[in-house]
């Protein structure tokens, strides 16, 4: 373990000398990065002989620093991908070095204790009751999949069908409700779980990008007898807008129809650290299951996701006794692992970095980081609203702002689509700034989807001045792209 530190220190020195100063992403095109990687790593074959740990690590560290993404750069503002906390990175090294696994007691006794502590701390923060439980997963998409799996099997059991044994073919046509803006991982999970994507029934949102409860209630009432409602998926922090579905109203409808309520709080959960923003998650405590991504508003290295459940019995769909892992007499004697909470067997103890971060910074420290990023987003929103060349599309609910270059009423909307996608690409290719891009449909029924750009602000060391400079770069790039588009049209 001490060797690790020596080896690392050498690699870090190489990485530092290779680090770019000019922006968060490498200048140039993807093929340039692939060429650099090919030069650094050699032909794509396991080499016959090794070059030793120090040389190998220096080579990788240099290449990663020179051609990688620098999330600590103040102009990295594209995705829900934070610069991670120092304490979390160091604790993650303890996890790698120890190589404990969480499936059985004897594959990681203390790591299991740490995960239990982290899960319990998170269920309490969520306001779930004493029967709550949870498990860490390799990402928000997997947490959503796992939540939907538990919902699916619970819905089957309620109808006398053991879906785990018999398969979903035995279920009447399954239906999963979610808002039009729900994360695409819901659709993917339905496909993976054998429900089919056609099971997804999208529910309309209001002008604040929140699911309309009355539309959900109507959809449930109108469901034919040949359909099995599997789950309602609420979103607490949509990826683009940070909008939170009206959880108390949705929970009431779910309870009335006895349908599982899963809340995808992958992005929004971190708001609970902030005294100022936690109110936005009111109603989360009414969920049957919750997705939490602490590698978003929690500053952990990926992946640090969790699925929390209101009732530990929900995991019974995953229970399994395996003679070489968890024989019954071991479980009876208290030698329990966490195999029965996960689709994974070997499982990395991602909880170690979470425990270290919660202890190191506390709720107050993490709350301050959330507030700082929210304030950066509010600052960006004000500046965008004040800029005549920019159109604010969606205000800062959490830490994102969606906007559009050149949104004047006179401009051709297709031209503007082109300009907005070009300006983001121009910033990316020049390497000076990394911003997000998405499409947004207007509020009228016939409105088309329009290309917009987006800031996702998760760097708590960035300043209002950095945001201003970022917006200045967007304006410059926008003007250049507008000129080019006009020349092309002329």
Q: How far is the CB of 282 from a second copy (least distance, A)?
A: 18
Give the x/- contact pattern for a second copy in 14-53, rule: CB under 8 A: -xx--------xx--xxx-xx-xxx--xx-xxxxxxxxxx
CA distances to 159, 216, 218, 415 from 201, in Å: 21, 10, 12, 33
The residue range among 163-171, 252-260, 374-382, 472-480 that interacts with a second copy, by the rule CB under 8 A, is 163-171
Omega of the bond leading into 215 within 30 degrees of 0 (cis): no
Among 23, 63, 213, 269, binds a second copy (CB under 8 A): 63
Q: Report helix, strand or coil for 8.
A: helix
The residues in 345-384 that bind a second copy, with binding defined as CB under 8 A, are 345-348, 352-353, 355-365
Of the candidates 294, 352, 334, the residue with the CA atom closest to the CA atom of residue 111: 352
Q: What is the DSSP letter of 175?
A: E
CA distances to 248, 264, 279 from 270, in Å: 19, 12, 12
Q: How far is the CB of 116 from a second copy (least distance, A)?
A: 7
Pick 94 or 217: Cβ nearer a second copy? 94
Distance CA 195, CA 187 (A): 10
H-type alpha helices, 23-108: 30-41, 53-67, 86-98
Q: How far is the CB of 130 from a second copy (least distance, A)?
A: 11
Residue carrying structure tokens 């004493």: 130
Distance CA 289, CA 343 (A): 16
Of the candidates 82, 23, 71, the residue with the CA atom closest to the CA atom of residue 399: 82
Q: What is the DSSP string of 260-298?
A: EEEEEETTGGGGGG-TTTGGGGTTGGG-SEEEEETTSTT
Q: Binding to a second copy by residue 241, rule CB under 8 A?
A: no
The residue range among 179-187, 205-213, 252-260, 471-479 that interacts with a second copy, by the rule CB under 8 A, is 179-187
Q: What is the DSSP string of 70-92?
A: -TTSTTEESSS-PPPPHHHHHHH
The residues in 386-445 that bind a second copy, with binding defined as CB under 8 A, are 421, 425, 428, 434, 436-439
Instruction: Report the alpha-carbon angle 353-356-358, nearest 5.
Output: 105
Q: Binding to a second copy by residue 202, rule CB under 8 A?
A: no
Q: Binding to a second copy by residue 89, rule CB under 8 A?
A: yes
The residues in 317-346 that bind a second copy, with binding defined as CB under 8 A, are 318, 320, 322-324, 327, 329-330, 333-336, 343-346
Pick 64 or 217: Cβ nearer a second copy? 64
Pick 31 or 207: Cβ nearer a second copy? 31
Give the x/- contact pattern for a second copy in 443-482, rule: CB under 8 A: ------x----x----------------------------
CA distances to 259, 283, 314, 371, 437 from 288, in Å: 9, 11, 9, 28, 33
Q: Report helix, strand or coil for 400.
A: strand
Pick 363 or 415: Cβ nearer a second copy? 363
Q: Binding to a second copy by residue 295, rule CB under 8 A?
A: yes
The residue range among 77-85, 207-215, 406-414, 469-477 that interacts with a second copy, by the rule CB under 8 A, is 77-85
Pick 9 or 386: Cβ nearer a second copy? 9
Of the candidates 450, 453, 455, 454, the residue with the CA atom closest to the CA atom of residue 439: 450
**Strands across the sheet with 305-309, in order?**
133-137, 305-309, 289-293, 260-265, 227-235, 173-179, 200-203
Q: How far is the CB of 112 from a second copy (least distance, A)?
A: 8
The residue range among 178-186, 279-287, 373-381, 470-478 that interacts with a second copy, by the rule CB under 8 A, is 178-186
Pick 111 or 220: Cβ nearer a second copy? 111
Among 17, 22, 106, 158, binds a second copy (CB under 8 A): 106
Q: Tally Cβ neighbours within 10 Å of residue 56.
A: 15
Distance CA 423, CA 405 (A): 9
Q: How far is the CB of 332 from a second copy (least distance, A)?
A: 11
Q: How far is the CB of 249 from a second copy (least distance, A)?
A: 27
Q: How far is the CB of 163 from a second copy (least distance, A)?
A: 7
Pick 240 or 466: Cβ nearer a second copy? 240
Q: How far is the CB of 193 from a second copy (least distance, A)?
A: 5
Cross-strand bridge partners of residue 227: 173
Q: Binding to a second copy by residue 270, rule CB under 8 A?
A: no
Pick 14 or 381: Cβ nearer a second copy? 14
Q: How far is the CB of 415 from a second copy (least distance, A)?
A: 15
Cβ-contact 171, 309 below 8 angstroms: no
The residue range among 62-70, 211-219, 468-476, 479-487 that interacts with a second copy, by the rule CB under 8 A, is 62-70
Q: Tally Cβ neighbours within 10 Å of residue 98.
A: 14
Q: How far is the CB of 410 from a second copy (least distance, A)?
A: 25
Among 74, 75, 78, 407, binds a second copy (CB under 8 A): 78
Q: How far is the CB of 487 from a second copy (least distance, A)?
A: 19
């Amino acid at each position: 373990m001490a060797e690790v530190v020596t080896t690392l220190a050498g690699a870090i020195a190489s990485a530092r000398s290779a680090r770019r100063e000019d922006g968060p992403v490498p200048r140039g095109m993807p093929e340039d990065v692939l060429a650099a990687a090919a030069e650094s790593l050699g032909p794509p074959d396991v080499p016959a002989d090794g070059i030793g740990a120090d040389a190998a690590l220096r080579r990788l560290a240099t290449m990663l620093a020179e051609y990688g993404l620098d999330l600590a750069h103040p102009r990295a503002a594209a995705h829900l991908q934070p610069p991670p906390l120092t304490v979390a990175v160091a604790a993650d090294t303890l996890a790698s070095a120890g190589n404990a696994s969480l499936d059985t007691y004897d594959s990681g006794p203390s790591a299991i204790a740490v995960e239990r502590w982290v899960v319990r701390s998170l269920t309490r923060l969520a306001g779930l009751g004493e029967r709550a439980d949870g498990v860490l997963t390799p990402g928000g998409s997997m947490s959503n999949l796992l939540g939907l799996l538990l919902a699916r099997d619970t819905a089957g059991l309620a109808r006398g069908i053991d879906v785990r044994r018999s398969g979903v073919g035995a279920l009447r046509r399954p239906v999963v409700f979610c808002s039009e803006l729900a994360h695409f991982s819901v659709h993917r999970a339905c496909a993976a779980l054998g429900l089919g994507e056609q099971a997804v029934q999208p529910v309309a949102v209001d002008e604040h990008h929140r699911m309309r409860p009355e539309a959900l209630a109507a959809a449930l009432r109108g469901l034919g007898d040949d359909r099995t409602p599997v789950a309602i998926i609420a979103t607490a922090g949509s990826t683009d807008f940070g909008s939170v579905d009206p959880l108390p109203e949705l929970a009431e409808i779910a309870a009335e129809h006895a349908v599982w309520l899963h809340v995808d709080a992958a992005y929004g959960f971190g708001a609970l650290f902030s005294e100022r923003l936690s109110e936005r998650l009111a109603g989360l405590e009414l969920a049957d299951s919750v997705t939490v991504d602490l590698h978003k508003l929690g500053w952990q290295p990926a992946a640090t996701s969790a699925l929390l459940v209101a009732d530990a019995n929900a995991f019974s769909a995953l229970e399994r006794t395996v003679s070489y892992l968890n024989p019954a007499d071991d479980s009876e004697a208290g030698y329990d692992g966490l195999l029965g909470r996960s689709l994974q067997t070997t499982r990395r103890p991602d909880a170690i970095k979470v425990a270290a971060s919660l202890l190191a910074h506390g709720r107050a420290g993490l709350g301050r980081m959330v507030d700082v990023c929210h304030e950066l987003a509010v600052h960006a929103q004000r500046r965008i609203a004040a800029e005549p060349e920019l159109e604010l599309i969606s205000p800062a609910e959490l830490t994102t702002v969606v906007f559009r270059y050149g949104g004047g009423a006179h401009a051709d909307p297709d031209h503007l689509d082109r300009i907005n996608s070009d300006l983001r690409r121009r910033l990316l290719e020049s390497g000076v700034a990394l911003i997000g891009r998405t499409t947004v449909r207007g509020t009228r029924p016939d409105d088309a989807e329009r290309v917009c750009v987006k800031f996702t602000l998760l760097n708590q060391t960035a300043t209002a001045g950095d945001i201003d400079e970022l917006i200045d770069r967007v304006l410059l790039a926008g003007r250049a792209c507008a000129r080019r588009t006009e020349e092309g049209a002329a």
